[in-house]
Amino acid sequence: MKNTFGNSVAVTLFGESHGEYIGAVIDGLAPGIEIKREYIEHMLFLRRPDGKISTPRKEKDEFRIVSGMINGKTTGTPLTILIPNENVNSSDYAELKTVARPAHADYTAQCKYHGYQDSRGGGHFSGRITAALVAAGAICKSALEAKGIFIGTHVKKCAGIQDRDFSDYTADITALGEKTFAVLDSNCEEPMKNSILEAASEGDSVGGVLETAIIGIPAGVGEPWFDSAESMLSHMMFSIPAVKGIEFGAGFGIADMKGSTANDSLRMKDGKIVTETNNNGGINGGITNGMPVIFRTAIKPTPTIFKAQDTVDFMSLTDALIEPKGRHDPAIVHRARVVQDAAAAIVICDMLSMRFGTDWLCES
């Protein structure tokens, strides 16, 4: 039973949705990295619910760093972040202890933990745990920015409505870092929000697609086979609740291209080797080529909906009908984008530490 990701920089998540605390331990961070509290607070703010398009559950996320930091800098020993759960209502889940919610982990958790799991609010499987992931990722993301590496994610599609592609990567990523609803084309925001509200009014939910750009990564990071850049990023992205697919660069669309179109021609620009196109998403042979790393994830509709659904009682082994109660998001794609930023930052910190050594992150 493992809740840790990473080889050199490793992050462990702990806690449950309605437990006293959730949190993260980051092991392997170089000593001397500046911890910017305001930066962590801002990323947690971007993850919080946003009006009627999100859950009514609102947490302050007043985190504490209880180890691994002194005088605002990392010590190099395990850094522990604690975030209290304060706005809980466990009575909403009393009837669900033995009745599986469709598309949730209730039944699979029962199979793995034999009834000892915390079922309140989804327990350890809850999206609430992503707050700890965001806090840990914020530290990694800030350290990367000090090295000239920047990460940004936008809602590429929601309820069938498409946002534009990245164009000016630096400007787009900077702009996304300040948006609570992260789209590149502001004309997409209201139609997307209205589609979420429409689904909510019907007791239903919607999904979407997130697109992430990572710029500034040097060429030569990643391994040819099992720890390829795609493998590591995919491993982490599938750890985010609701992610059901991932593609890099042109993604599945590359299957419809001819090689003459799909191949990214190389050329010189300002003394550097670049590619004319980026159909391979900044990665060749599992190793970064210096171009922006581009990937997209598919986010499924929030599984808890306010409609009657067929299910089973897995203790009595009888069919059942479920009409969930509680506080739930009609869409999570707009909140998940900062989770994807944080998750990507953890992966890149780990890969860079493996390639150049742990202290590389704090070297001037």
Query: Measured between alpha carbons, how far is 250 from 295 in angstroms, rounded to an integer?
Result: 9
Identify whether the C-beta of residue 330 lies closer than 8 Å to the C-beta of residue 302: yes
Residue 209 confidence (pLDDT): 98
Tell the burial category of 343 from Cβ atoms under 10 Å away from its Cβ (0-12, 13-18, 19+): buried
**DSSP 8-state class, residue 242:** T
Model confidence pLDDT, tens digit, residues 240-268: 999 999 999 999 999 999 999 999 999 99
Which residue type does 215 have?
I
Residue 55 confidence (pLDDT): 77
Residue 91 confidence (pLDDT): 63
3-class DSSP state of 339: helix
**DSSP 8-state class, residue 261:** H
3-class DSSP state of 23: strand
Query: Measured between alpha carbons, how far is 64 from 72 in angstroms, rounded to an integer?
Result: 13
H helices present in 36-157, as ranges: 37-47, 106-113, 130-146
Beta bridge mates, 157: 162, 209
Which residue type does 43 have?
M
Kind plus residue range of the DSSP H or E element containing 24:
strand 21-27
Judged by phi (left if over 0) then psi (alpha if -120 to 50, else beta), residue 336 lies in: alpha
Identify whether the C-beta of residue 264 lies closer than 8 Å to the C-beta of residue 279: yes
Query: Measured between alpha carbons, how far is 338 from 284 in angstroms, rounded to an integer?
Result: 26
Residues lower than pLDDT 50 in the chain? none
Report the interhelical angle of 333-356 vs 37-47 (nearest 10°).
Answer: 140
List the CATH code of the domain at 4-362. 3.60.150.10
Report the interhelical angle of 130-146 vs 37-47 (nearest 10°).
Answer: 130
3-class DSSP state of 264: coil
- Which residues fall within 8 angstroms of residue 207, CB to CB, at 6 or more apart? 158, 159, 242, 298, 299, 300, 301, 302, 331, 333
3-class DSSP state of 7: coil
Model confidence pLDDT, tens digit, residues 108-156: 999 999 999 988 888 899 889 999 999 999 999 999 999 999 999 999 9
Beta bridge mates, 276: none
Query: Measured between alpha carbons, how far is 290 from 311 in angstroms, rounded to an integer?
Result: 49
Residue 258 confidence (pLDDT): 97
Identify whether the C-beta of residue 133 lies closer than 8 Å to the C-beta of residue 139: no
pTM (two decimals) = 0.95
**For residue 244, how many C-alpha atoms fall within 13 Å in the half-sphere facing its CB?**
12
Residue 146 confidence (pLDDT): 96
Identify whether the C-beta of residue 273 lies closer than 8 Å to the C-beta of residue 335: no
Query: Measured between alpha carbons, how far is 70 from 116 in angstroms, rounded to an integer?
Result: 38
Residue 94 confidence (pLDDT): 67
Identify whether the C-beta of residue 56 lies closer than 8 Å to the C-beta of residue 327: yes
